[in-house]
Amino acid sequence: MTTESKSPMGLFERYLTVWVALCIASGVTLGAVAPGLFQAIAGLEYANVNLVVAVFIWVMIYPMMVNVDFSSLKDVGKKPKGLCITLVVNWLIKPFTMAGLGVLFFEYLFAGLVDPATASEYIAGMILLGVAPCTAMVFVWSQLVRGDANYTLVQVSINDIIMVFAFAPIAALLLGVTDVVVPWETLLLSVVLYVVIPLAAGYITRRILDGSGQEERIARFTARLKPVSVMGLLATVVLLFGFQAQTILDKPLVIALIAIPLIIQSYGIFIIAYGWAYLWRVPFATAAPAALIGTSNFFELAVAVAISLFGLNSGAALATVVGVLVEVPVMLSLVAIANRTRGHFPTPDPQL
């Protein structure tokens, strides 16, 4: 069991939207006052990977990957309904609805408000969010609905393994459908850098900590790293909005335009997953986390890949960071909905 699953939502998570909003304001202000600083940082890159941002991304992702317990895969056959819902929603529904909403809003509904090239980048950022299922905050959402913590861990572990193989092909397919040129080498490099390597590092760390015979060492280790992980996220937000400062100042409504389809996507996916679980008579302790896992995004990965594929100053990178801003308040509202409808689901059945 992970720290997130055993502890209530902490200060960083509870007010993450506030921290992100403050970092957005700071980034835009610094970008307008000291554009040369951000240009210098933008120049520190190798093979389309910005070295400064890469460090922050690794700081964010590594603690999450330590939480992945491969030994939990032996329980994959237990309660198959919840796992089925999560996997179908994450990999066969969510990426495609996100792409569809992006096209609908930025090629049609918002066509007169955004130039076509920028609109294409916003769509690409939304797609990257849709193809990246969450791996860390889902433990918090599961805790807040008093879900089955061990089963949540099984779902997250399986999603991470699938992500190693499915993220790049699905992202490339959808980006290609929306006429975005995909540099395959950069996309695959991003998956290796931001999924494979952190997952391997997390696995090695977990084995070392497990080998001590003190299981609580993993919880203590990840608890100590959590503030550092969040600070990495916030530093990345400051940088991204510093790079985008002039665009945002020239077009202040752009954040709202990106947020609208992201919010619709989140509520729509939750309705699909939660409604499916209700009709399938899945117990609440499994149904609620399954729906929340399907709704939440691995925005850290989406941000990293958007930067690698399209650049620090791209609309794609901006769209993924707006996903961070939207994520917490929307997910908290869905947690509240789930808790209020708890009584409509059956009591746990060990056969489900």
**Residues 144-177: tens digit of each pLDDT:** 888 887 778 788 778 888 888 888 899 999 998 8
User: Which of 89, 166, 178, 86 lies closest to 125 in space, CA to CA?
Assistant: 178
**Residues 202-246: tens digit of each pLDDT:** 889 888 887 665 667 887 887 788 777 778 878 888 887 888 788
pLDDT of residue 142: 80
What phi, psi does 297 have (nearest 5°)? -120, 150
Higher pLDDT, 78 or 252: 252
Domain ranges of the chain: 3-12+59-224+257-344
Q: What is the pTM of this model?
A: 0.78
pLDDT of residue 157: 79
What stretch of H or E contains 124? Answer: helix 116-130
Tell me: pLDDT of 3 over 60. no
pLDDT of residue 352: 44
Q: What residue type is 242 in one-letter code?
A: G
Average pLDDT on 182-192 reads 75
3-state class (DSSP) for residue 176: helix
What size, in residues, is the chain? 352
In this prediction, residue 136 has a pLDDT band, given cuts at 50, 70 and 90, of: low
CA distance 16 to 18: 5
DSSP strand pairing (49-50 vs 45-46): antiparallel
**Residues 320-352: tens digit of each pLDDT:** 888 877 887 898 899 999 999 999 998 765 444
CATH 3.30.300.30 assigned to domain 3-12+59-224+257-344? The reply is no
| Residue 126, token pair as written in the block | 């939304």
Triad 341, 334, 156: Cα angle to 5°: 105
User: CB-based contacts of 45: which residues, under 8 Å, 6+ apart?
Assistant: 51
**Residues 31-43: tens digit of each pLDDT:** 999 989 988 888 8
**Residues 72-114: tens digit of each pLDDT:** 667 666 678 888 999 999 999 999 999 999 999 999 999 989 9
Q: What percent of the chain has pLDDT over 90?
A: 29
CA distance 9 to 3: 10
What phi, psi does 289 have (nearest 5°)? -60, -35
Tell me: pLDDT of 194 over 80. no
Q: What residue type is 102 in one-letter code?
A: G
pLDDT of residue 2: 39
